[in-house]
Structure 1
Amino acid sequence: MLTYQLIEGAARRQWLDDLLLADEEVGMIERYLMHGQFYTVSDQQQVIGVFHLMALNNQQVELKNIAVRPEWQHRGFGGQMMTQIQTIAIDQGFQSLLVGTGDGSLAAIGFYLRQGFRFEQIRKNFFDQYQTPIYENGIRLKDMVVLAKIL
C-alpha cells in the first residue's frame, strides 16, 4: 500500500532530482516549488515518486509535477498516485484537475487520457522559455498540451 507524505517549506528541495524526472529545468521547478502542496509517495517506507498540486482558483487545481522513479515505473504506481491526487483534490473541494505536458510527450498524453483526462487547451510556445530545448520522441517540445478532468 502506498503512503503519501505532505512536505512543507525548504525540505521540498531535497526532492529536486525526482521533480526533474518530469520537468527538466530547475528554474521552472523553482517557480512553483514553494507554493501549493508537495507530496512524496512511498511503498514500504521507500520513496518511489513525488507529486505537486497547486490551486488555480477555488474550483481548479493543477498537477504541476508527477514523477515515478525509473526503477518503479510500469508497475501501476502512476495510476495509483492519480487516484490519490483526485481524492485529495475532491476532499479539498476542487471540481476539476488540470495537468500540462509537452506536445511531443506521447506517453504522458496517453497516460492522462487513460486516466480520464480530456484535451482542454494549448499553451503556444510554452517551452520557448526553457534555457535548453527539450526533445521527446524526436520532437522538439514547443507547446504545452493542457488536459483536464472533472472530479
Structure 2
Amino acid sequence: MRIRQYQQADKSAVWALHKAALHGTGADLEDGQWDADLFQIEEVYLNNQGEFLVGEIENRIVAMGAIKKITSTRSEIKRMRVHPDFQKRGLGQMMLTQLEARAIALSYQVLQLDTTTLQVAAQQLYRKNGFVQLETIEIVKGLTVLFFKKDLLPLPDE
C-alpha cells in the first residue's frame, strides 16, 4: 500500500470508503453534522497543524486516517478506515504507524482517539499499539463510544 497526503480529487473516494468501512462494522449512522469534517478536510486537518492520509493499492483508496489538532501538544486520531475488502492485511497498522510518526513530527506529545464497542478490530489495534482505554464512556446515537490515549515519545535524533 502506498500512503500519501489527501488531495481534493480524493473527496468522493474518501467519502465512499468512510461509509463502506462503518457499514461493515455496523457503526454507520445516518449522515449528519458528525461527518462535516469530511467535507472540509483541508480546513479541519491539513491547514490546522494536522494531517489526512490515504492509502492506495493499484490507484484505489482502500485506507485512510487523520490527525486533528486539539491543543499545541495534544492531537486526535480521526477517520481511521480500511475498506472491508482489504481488512486483516495490516493496512490499519501501516496507517496508524504513519499517523503516529506524523504526530511526533508535528510536535504533539499526546494522541487521543475514540471508537465504538462495535469496532472490535480497531480496539485491538489501538491497544496493541500502546493506547490505553480511559474510563470515560459516552453513548452517541445509540452507539457506545470508548476513549483512548497514548503518550508519544519524540523521535531519536538522526
One fold, TM greater than 0.5? yes
Unaligned stretches of 5+ residues in structure 1: 134-140
- TM-score, normalised with respect to structure 1: 0.77
2:109 equivalent to 1:95: yes
Matched with 2:150 is 149
Give how far 1:48 is off. 1.9
**If the length of structure 2 is used for normalisation, what is the TM-score?**
0.74
Alpha carbons of structure 1 residues 11 and 76: separation in structure 2 relative to 1, 3 Å: closer
Gaps of 5+ in 2: 46-50, 153-158
Bigger fraction of residues in helix: 2
Runs of 4+ aligned residues of structure 1 deviating over 4 Å after TM superposition are 8-11
The change in CA–CA distance for 1:105 and 1:28 in structure 2 (over 3 A counts) is: farther
Rounded to whole Å, the distance in 1 between the matches of 2:125 and 2:147 is 13
Give the alignment's Cα RMSD to 1 decimal: 2.2
| Deviation by residue 1:3-33 (Cα, 9 ceiling, x = unmatched) | 2222255853442111122462332443322
Q: Distance in 1 between matches of 2:12 and 2:118?
A: 28
The answer to whether structure 1 residue 27 and structure 2 residue 32 are counterparts is yes
- Percent of residue pairs bearing the same amino acid type: 20
Q: Partner of 2:72: helix, strand, or coil? A: coil
Name the counterpart of 2:125.
111
In structure 2, the CA distance between the partners of 1:12 and 1:76, relative to structure 1 (3 Å rule), is same
Q: Is residue 12 of structure 1 aligned with residue 35 of structure 2?
A: no
